[in-house]
Structure 1
Amino acid sequence: MNSIFLTPGNFPQEFLRPTVEFLLLSQTQEGEIPWFEGGHSDPWDHTEAAMGLALAGELSAARRAYRWLANTQLEDGSWWRCYREGKPHEPDRRESNYVAYMATGVWHYYLLTADREFLQELFPTIDRAMAFVLSLQSEHGDIDWAVDADGSPKGDALVTGCSSIYKSMECALHIAAVLDTPRPHWQAGRALLGDALRARPDRFDRTWASKSRYAMDWFYPVLTGVIEGDAAVARINDRWHEFVQPGLGCRCEVQEPWVTVAESCELVLALMAVGDQRRAALVFSWLLQWRADDGAWWTGYQFADKVLWPDEKPTWTAGAVLLAADALTGFSGASRLFLDVVPFGAAPAGHLARTSAQP
């Protein structure tokens, strides 16, 4: 099988089942999902893997993953950037986009299940997380990327990180709306953040070299709904030939001969968000060659040296593959999570019309 084109209504459940089994085997009894066996976890990638489990109908495993986050949350609403066997590993900083992303995962779970009780259970965790994130927002709208171990802000902002936060705040607001728990300051903060991302480039990369060499800075504002419509299409087209390596995938950095599976899957989601089904399916079809025999997916491929690199098969890459396949096929009730920006307070009934998950 040298290629795979995913079309609406054609989710490859049998083909991707080994990927799900890989995630299940990787999760600890406590619920933590490390990058790989014996490796560390981080809150963002842990959540990405949990979304893959929920999408595949492994709801018990997904709930354990989110409850693990709730049980390890710090008093200020944050998490350390890195954990190993449930304990903080090298606790030197706490990153704002890592903290925010749980809201995206929990909303994804709700779109699959309509489980309001689970939203209620985890809302206090999300409430504290959002409070931490917004405490790092400047008057200009940007949100500091991290704090030091002592809680001191790092003093700069990232386009990719803030774009991810923008989507997570959208998801948090949907959760608040379902629970009839208004959080107008979240909405105000999100609006201010969106304005900064769209119109204040001077607020990002102030203290280091521009991160625009990274693919995520290119497509994340589209993936997360910061930029929509014709502007989003133009943004994707503008740097397509810089980042996309035909037949292989999306480069991580423009100057490096290295494509990565996770970023390629996220590019698929961004393409679907602008309605480009053809190129989304094409990019995904290239990725089959990076699937391992056990159903896991390699991090990436260094095409100058013609080697898989690094020698890792991360759980978050597996999660990204599942999310991209879902978006391409419209399989689950959460398939349009990254494709639409739904007005707050609007009932997500259309999203719940078809779901792969079973309680």
Structure 2
Amino acid sequence: MTSPGRTEHLVLPGVLTAEQAELTVAGIAAIQRADGAIPWFTGGHLDPWDHVEAAMALDAAGEHGRAEAAYRWLADRQNTDGSWYASYSYAGDVPGADAAVAPGEPLDRTRETNFVAYVAVGIWHHYLSTGDDAFLERLWPTLYAAVEFVLALQLPGGQIAWKRDDDGGFPQEALLTGSSSIYQALRCALAVADYREEPQPDWELATGLLGHAVLHHPERFLDKGRFSMDWYYPVLGTALRGPAAKQRIEALWETFVVPGLGVRCVSDRPWVTGGESAELALALWAMGESDRAVEILADIQHLRTGDDGMYWTGYVFDDDAVWPEERTSWTAGALLLAVAALGGDEATTAVFGGERLPIGLAPDDAGCC
């Protein structure tokens, strides 16, 4: 089990005790496979974004070897165009399972840009957690190829198309949540490039254009306003700060936040989810509203299971029912990262606070309108 000294910043009154934090970290570690993969749960599938989120939580808990194994998994399975597929099977890891797809093989061959980009956040977070220059050197080609894949899908307005199709084409459509996440990833990628003293002017321009689109042009994105992620992701993704961030969060607070239970996944369903709740808490922390962040995290402790320290994905409060009946690595990971930020973990505060991350070219300099 994780050393108590490694999780001291994961203790948060009303949310996690030291023993509970250790149990949650151990729960994520138990899901991780021998090849480094972190699927949603044992016998479930893996998607690259949530895999990175869980790896970041392991780093926040001091489990650096496990986190590095997760990034090695990505490096080993990166497609030649720099991408990863949307999901990979690990159903065959359950004893007796009759899996149609072998462990680690693709299930969904869609290549989603925000899934691909997020490795940059994880790599920079791991470096800040460990100071491991050799790791950064090994993973630079992986990061570089991923960013180049993503930026090839940037549309004229700065937003990033959400996927590339099998035939090489891509829809002229972007998602605000995905592009906000990509903005954070590009800033982390620029931080790596700066540290390596390898300037990437094209990345700087692309980052400025994307940030401008997220902040000032909601019409350039598909309308997904019923999803809470579209509400808070411009803040979580480091694009929106200050009074504008507070105004955005306040405007839809009563739409999405269910007092005592957490955050709705979608506005028109009586369903709160642990992942969205923990991410909102991270966004609130980034805005300087730590008290409200703690309240949200305390509210979702009804999702915590007693035996393994994990968290149910969601709860349908009209039916008083857990749904789906899954205890996901990424739900636990999101909560640990929120607690780590509140506890002052340097790597976590750096990648989600954003104050020290490069911003690329400012919108005016980028020639964006």
d(CA) in 1 for partners of 2:349, 2:62: 14
Deviation of 1:343 after TM superposition, in Å, equals 4.5
d(CA) in 1 for partners of 2:138, 2:111: 24
The 8 Å contact of residues 188 and 351 in structure 2, kept in 1 or not, is answered as no
Q: Which amino acid aligns with 1:183?
A: Q
The 8 Å contact of residues 27 and 34 in structure 1, kept in 2 or not, is answered as yes
Query: Which of 228, 239, 254 in structure 1 is aligned with 2:241?
Result: 228
Write out per-residue CA displacement over residues 53-102 of structure 1, whole angstroms, 9 at most, x where no aligned residue: 111111111111001000000010000101112111132x1000000000
Residue 265 of structure 1 pairs with residue 265 of structure 2: no
Residue 310 of structure 2 corresponds to 296
The 8 Å contact of residues 11 and 329 in structure 1, kept in 2 or not, is answered as no
Residue 65 of structure 2 corresponds to 60
Q: CA RMSD, aligned part only?
A: 1.7
Residue 12 of structure 2 corresponds to 6
Normalised TM-score (structure 2): 0.88
Q: Which amino acid aligns with 2:107?
A: H
Residue 227 of structure 2 corresponds to 214
Residue 199 of structure 2 corresponds to 182
What is the 5 A alignment of 1:32-111? 32-84=37-89, 85-91=103-109, 93-111=110-128
Residue 251 of structure 2 corresponds to 238
The 8 Å contact of residues 330 and 336 in structure 1, kept in 2 or not, is answered as no
What is the 5 A alignment of 1:323-338? 323-338=337-352
d(CA) in 1 for partners of 2:347, 2:106: 34
Residue 265 of structure 2 corresponds to 252
Deviation of 1:154 after TM superposition, in Å, equals 2.4
Residue 143 of structure 2 corresponds to 126
Deviation of 1:11 after TM superposition, in Å, equals 7.2
3-state DSSP of counterpart to 1:344: coil
The 8 Å contact of residues 31 and 38 in structure 2, kept in 1 or not, is answered as yes
Deviation of 1:332 after TM superposition, in Å, equals 4.6
3-state DSSP of counterpart to 1:337: helix
Q: Which amino acid aligns with 1:320?
A: A
The 8 Å contact of residues 5 and 285 in structure 1, kept in 2 or not, is answered as no
In the alignment, structure 2 segments of 5+ residues that lack a partner are: 1-9, 90-102, 360-369
The 8 Å contact of residues 350 and 357 in structure 2, kept in 1 or not, is answered as no
Residue 176 of structure 2 corresponds to 159
Closer/same/farther in 2, CA of residues 175 and 5 from structure 1, 3 Å limit: closer
Identical residues among aligned pairs (%): 47
d(CA) in 2 for partners of 1:312, 1:97: 23
Residue 218 of structure 2 corresponds to 201
Deviation of 1:17 after TM superposition, in Å, equals 0.9
3-state DSSP of counterpart to 2:34: coil
The 8 Å contact of residues 257 and 303 in structure 1, kept in 2 or not, is answered as yes
Deviation of 1:195 after TM superposition, in Å, equals 1.0
Q: Which amino acid aligns with 2:190?
A: L
Deviation of 1:252 after TM superposition, in Å, equals 0.4
3-state DSSP of counterpart to 1:338: helix
Deviation of 1:335 after TM superposition, in Å, equals 3.2
d(CA) in 2 for partners of 1:285, 1:255: 23
Write out per-residue CA displacement over residues 126-185 of structure 1, whole angstroms, 9 at most, x where no aligned residue: 000000000000121011000112222022100000000000001111111111111111
In the alignment, structure 1 segments of 5+ residues that lack a partner are: 346-359
d(CA) in 2 for partners of 1:148, 1:183: 27
Deviation of 1:268 after TM superposition, in Å, equals 0.3
Residue 282 of structure 1 pairs with residue 299 of structure 2: no
d(CA) in 1 for partners of 2:148, 2:351: 23
Q: Which amino acid aligns with 2:84?
A: W
3-state DSSP of counterpart to 2:108: coil
The 8 Å contact of residues 55 and 332 in structure 1, kept in 2 or not, is answered as no
Closer/same/farther in 2, CA of residues 14 and 290 from structure 1, 3 Å limit: same
Q: Which amino acid aligns with 1:6?
A: L
d(CA) in 2 for partners of 1:52, 1:314: 13
Residue 310 of structure 1 corresponds to 324
Deviation of 1:288 after TM superposition, in Å, equals 1.4
Q: Which amino acid aligns with 2:254?
A: H
Q: Which amino acid aligns with 1:242?
A: T
Deviation of 1:47 after TM superposition, in Å, equals 0.4
Residue 7 of structure 2 corresponds to none
d(CA) in 2 for partners of 1:111, 1:56: 13
The 8 Å contact of residues 252 and 259 in structure 1, kept in 2 or not, is answered as yes
Closer/same/farther in 2, CA of residues 343 and 326 from structure 1, 3 Å limit: closer
d(CA) in 2 for partners of 1:178, 1:196: 27
The 8 Å contact of residues 323 and 335 in structure 1, kept in 2 or not, is answered as no
